[in-house]
Amino acid sequence: MARKTEVQDAETAGSKSARTRKRLLDAAAVVLARRGYAGTRLSDIAEEAHVQAPAIYYYYPSREDLIEEVMHVGAAAMYSHLRDAMDALPPGAPPHTRIAAAVEAHLRNELELSDYARAIIRNGNQLPEVVGKRARAQITAYNDIWRGLIADLAEAGQLRDGLDASVARMLVLGALNWAAEWFDPERGSLEEAISTAQSMVLYALRP
């Protein structure tokens, strides 16, 4: 049986390793959001994480393995954030209220809360198949929530006649994603951006 100090040493080492892995993931998310997939170098990630670049290989065999993990973790977190926002609404909340909440959840996560969300939004379409496979499964689940929101709006008779629900969903998400490129908190508040987006999205979708 291992002595108590040996167990504690093992637990401390494991905890330190987990913290370092998280620091590397967080740093990679920052660099990916800033520089994009093609411009992300391990040396930049190491500098952001305050580690020596060769140390990264202790945790991840390659640049692609690290980026793949970031994208998977980020996409899963985006899905959970939106799901939690929907679950926090009162039971029976009308479709337009749910869509307004989804708009806020998306923009707040993208622009305020998560470098991972920005990394996903800016790089999701740039990744090789093997790097983006797990993330795309989570992104599909995320899109399915939006698909359901617009379907509910249509079922309630509140979707504008002549709109293709699939096209409408992609246009809404495309517009929300683009906010990562232009939003500047020094030129306008996030609350104003969210309120404006909610108004425009609902005006465009409803009769």
Burial class (CB in 10 A: 0-12, 13-18, 19+), 149: buried
Quick check: 60 pLDDT over 60?
A: yes
Range of lowest pLDDT (46-50, 86-90, 194-198):
46-50
The secondary structure of 178-206 as a DSSP string is HHHHH--TTTS-HHHHHHHHHHHHHHHH-
More confident residue, 16 or 154: 154
Question: Average pLDDT for residues 58-71, to the nearest whole number?
Answer: 90
Over residues 143-163, mean pLDDT:
94
The whole-model pTM stands at 0.85
Give yes or no for residue 49 having a pLDDT over 80: yes
Sign for the CA dihedral angle at 135, 111, 144, 128 comes to: negative
Q: Which domains does the chain have, with CATH numbers?
A: 4-205 (1.10.357.10)
Q: What is the mean pLDDT of residues 94-123?
A: 93
